Amino acid sequence: MALTFELIEKHGEHEQIVFCHDKTAGLKAIIAIHNTALGPALGGTRMWNYKNEEEALIDVLRLSKGMTYKAAAAGLNLGGGKAVIIGDPEKDKSEALFRAFGQYINSLNGRYITAEDVGTSVKDMGYVFAETHFVTGISPALGGSGDPSPLTANGVLHGIKASVKEKMKTDSLKGVRVAIQGLGKVGSYLAGFLVEQGAEIIVADINEAKTKDMEKRYKAKVVSSDEILFQECDVLAPCAMGAIINDETIKKINCKIVAGGANNQLAENHHGDQLKEMGILYAPDYVINAGGLMNVFVELEGYSKERAIERTETIYDNLLDIFKISREENIPTYQAANALAERRLDSIGRLRQKHPGQMTRTFSTLKIDNR
């Protein structure tokens, strides 16, 4: 138990950690609420076959803190939270498991709102919705917005545009070479959006069928997963798992810009310092990939796809603001993004402390009476 508390202390000042266990349903999960200064904590539920409970705890603590910064930098009235379910998403899913999980979420009375994430789906969130209203990204048939991937990809597209504007001084993506690592939902949508804008794409994925589809559909150049990070290109767009900018890869990266949809792209903060020293512009991941969060925020207000698209397009201006702070203060862009988020957390958080009724008003706007 001492190790558990040490891990919690090491990963920041979290407001609440909830361990969820239902033996009958086979549920082992952890919910982490990092900060609710700006509003209720919102973050997806990840299902992953973690090696052990310690690994799961570290992941949820890290991810929930990232959600606080993501929401703050995106200008949303939301806090940061995350949940992880320990299990194999290919074998261990069941209606009972997700409904048991939904009961735990419901017990938090709106302090945490969940959504789909790695290893979970719109269908899974439908089971959660059977037990609680505090879930987003549900099927349109249930009044939700469905799969947020297209909106996430749209946000990444506008983030790439802002990055190209900053680094290459052009408003056009025509002829810009973009290397996309990972062709999951976000990476695949992004590929299509980029080609529509006139960009040239290089792609890699462990699934050969996906790369062949991109080659046939968009005339994409296909390379192996081992080669994609080191392609000569204008933009490297990581859209797979995190920590891909690390001690080994950073030496061989051959791009002008790193801007993609993956979470936690920097293995450590000092890799962000190195990118700056190398003259490579880094679009902080939690800013450029905030489109999915923006989409579900709009769902909480009463969903409109047009408003969701408009929200994701604000990522362009958000990144330009961060690049400006980076230039003026001569700090790496990841530090500039943190500074922007922390200033908002501090200023709006202090207002909330003076006027706690505002938190109640935020909760009352949630569509919790339409199930």
- Kindly list the catalytic residues: 82
For 87, 94, 115, 139, 278, the CA distances from 91, given in Å and listed in that order, are 8, 9, 20, 22, 44
Alpha-carbon dihedral angle through residues 96, 33, 62, 126, given to the nearest 10 degrees? 30
Helix, strand or coil for residue 47? Answer: strand
For residue 94, what are the CA distances in angstroms to 47, 126, 153, 239, 320?
12, 12, 29, 28, 44
Query: Which residue is associated with the tokens 């796809």?
Result: 305
Which contacts (CB < 8 Å, 24+ apart) does range 91-98 have? 92/26, 92/47, 93/47, 93/124, 94/25, 94/26, 95/127, 96/24, 96/25, 96/26, 97/22, 97/25, 97/26, 97/27, 98/124, 98/125, 98/127, 98/128
Q: Is the dihedral of CA 216, 222, 228, 231 positive or negative?
A: negative
Tokens of 237: 């767009």
Residue type, 32: A
Query: Cα–Cα distance between 323 and 256 in angstroms, integer?
Result: 14
Say how many C-beta atoms besides its own lie within 10 A of residue 321's C-beta.
Answer: 16
